[in-house]
Amino acid sequence: MSTKPLTGHECPGDPCIIVIFGASGDLTKRKLIPALYNLKALKLLPENFAGIGVAVTESNDELFRAKITEDIKQFATRPFDPAEWDNFSKRSYYVSGDFNDPATFSRLAEKIQEVQKTWNIPPNVLFYLAVSPTFFGKVVEQLGAAGLTNESEGAWRRIIIEKPFGHDLASARALNTELTKHVSESQIYRIDHYLGKETVQNIMVFRFGNSVFEPIWNRRYIDYVQITVAEELGVELRGGYYDHSGVTRDMVQNHILSVLSLIAMEPPASISGDSVRNEKVKVLEAIRPMEPEEVLANTVRGQYGAGIIDGRHVPAYRSEPDVNPQSNTETFVAMKLMVENWRWADVPFFIRSGKRLAARTTQIVIGFRRTPLLLFGRKIEDNVTPNRLVIHVQPDEGITMDIHAKRPGPGVSIASVPLDFSYKAFGESTAATGYETLLYDCMIGDMTLFHRYDSVDASWRIVNPILDVWQALHPRDFPNYAAGTWGPEASDRLIEKSGHVWHHYQLAP
Ligand code: BG6
């Protein structure tokens, strides 16, 4: 698996055409085209490469090139290089049409053939479904019917599917059944942009590339784990989608459970392909779905009211565009999960995520057990914090280890001091969108960082009973936290019940 920023020292991806469905959408202009452009600049796009955008909007190759040229000037994460861009842009094509109409797919098939001939590209095609989830099944069905998913003569056909994969367990299963009528599991790349983040990928190197951590990475030494994914942003212009989703579906079912499984998994036999995915799914399977009374005891949901973020008044969730003014959708969640296996029995995993919180931060805190400090004339319950390891995923990227040290001076006074490692120490600026690694991995056929269906199923099995209880019991106190805070008070009580508090660390500048 790719464990460091792509540098351009890797081999270019396989020669191929990338077809992006949803070419006029936000994801394409903000992330996908800038990511492909970065790959090109790093010499990681193959020589024989072209892109085809597909969308309902009427357009043609020329207009599409003009549009993406305007967009890249705004969204590129590296300096704009006209010559490099020109080479990219002239390999870009467009097909317009309705995704329900077979004629769109016949036109696409013709376009693929024409582009293959022009640039001497073998029949490898990567289809990226940057479309509303309601189209996932339809687009794949139409691709299958048009013969575009057939892998023959050593060529590959791969499909990247954005989240959410299903709305609940039943719909995820139905979608998977639908997709696998037309393509096999080995052709489906379920993308999770969190797994493209440097520090998330670094979890494995950190755990398995250092001999000091793995021996203590278990219930004998670790007291608890916390995963916080906090956003300052509200729902922006995505109220229509979000109001049917909520933070549990939007963040927990995919990103957070995947990060949790990287933290908790057993060492894989190898660092690529199915070995890692096998271990990750075992963790999810060890999290027993909650009974209704456990849902009440171990989860908290919240929704933001109006408040202040960065000195600016922001509206309540229920006043956001396209949100039902009586909405009961949760914009905050906190929960305690137990991984019931030999390594983790009795170690609580606390997770929380929300919109419009006090800071934008994603961090993982590993709390170690207390030492008996009696040796130094202190009582165990004295206020020296036990060792903690913090993995900062964003906005700062790095790792902090809190250790105990003697304060200088006479007598023995103990203080907790941080040992900080910041990614800045590498001195490399990654200039990335977060999609480069994932697109590149798909081009080379490395599925490690993509969700296999069994892990999607296992995640839904964890989340679904919680959503069912919440749906049956409408929240009476929404909105229950002000924008710009750390969520509802009940979230603090949830963790305090287990004798802990939420941590929020900042990496030293
Ligand atoms: C997306 C969610 O998957 O992740 C968004 O749909 C969320 O609601 C986003 O804002 C957060 O991603 P990041 O990379 O900004 O932490």
**What is the tens place of the pLDDT at every residue in 357-415?**
999 999 999 999 987 666 666 554 466 788 999 999 988 889 999 988 888 888 777 78
**What is the tens place of the pLDDT at every residue in 330-349?**
999 999 999 999 999 999 99
CB 4 within 8 A of CB 35: no
What is the pLDDT confidence band of residue 459, given thresholds at 50, 70 and 90? Answer: very high
Q: Which of 75-84, 245-254, 476-485 has the lowest mean pLDDT?
A: 75-84
pLDDT for residue 425: 77
**What is the tens place of the pLDDT at every residue in 95-108?**
999 999 999 999 99
Q: How many whole angstroms from 384 Cα to the centroid of ligand 1?
A: 35
Query: Measured from the CA of 247, which atom of ligand 1 is nearest?
Result: 8
CB 365 within 8 A of CB 400: no
DSSP-derived secondary structure for 251-262: IIIIIIHHHHHH
**What is the tens place of the pLDDT at every residue in 15-54?**
999 999 999 999 999 999 999 999 999 999 999 999 999 9
Q: Ligand 1 pocket check: which of 232, 250, 363 to mutate, most ligand atoms within 8 Å of Cβ?
A: 250
Tell me the C-alpha distance between 320 and 234, whole Å. 9
Helix locations, 243-398, DSSP H: 247, 257-264, 274-285, 292-298
Over the range 69-91, which residues count as b (16 or more CB within 10 Å of their CB) and which as e? beebeebbbeeeeeeebeebbeb
The structure tokens listed for 162 are 């954005």
Q: How many whole angstroms from 392 Cα to the centroid of ligand 1?
A: 16
Tell me the C-alpha distance between 86 and 92, whole Å. 10
Q: How many whole angstroms from 345 Cα to the centroid of ligand 1?
A: 31
**Residue whose pair of structure tokens reads 């250092």 in the numeric block:** 210
Active-site annotation, residues: 255
pLDDT for residue 44: 94
Q: Is the dihedral of CA 387, 349, 329, 251 positive or negative?
A: positive
Residue type, 89: S
Q: Is the dihedral of CA 271, 288, 463, 497 positive or negative?
A: negative
What is the pLDDT confidence band of residue 7, given thresholds at 50, 70 and 90? Answer: low
Tell me the C-alpha distance between 10 and 42, whole Å. 9
CA-based angle 140:144:148, to the nearest 5?
A: 105
Residue nearest to atom 14 of ligand 1 (CA): 194
Q: Mean pLDDT throughout 488-509?
A: 91
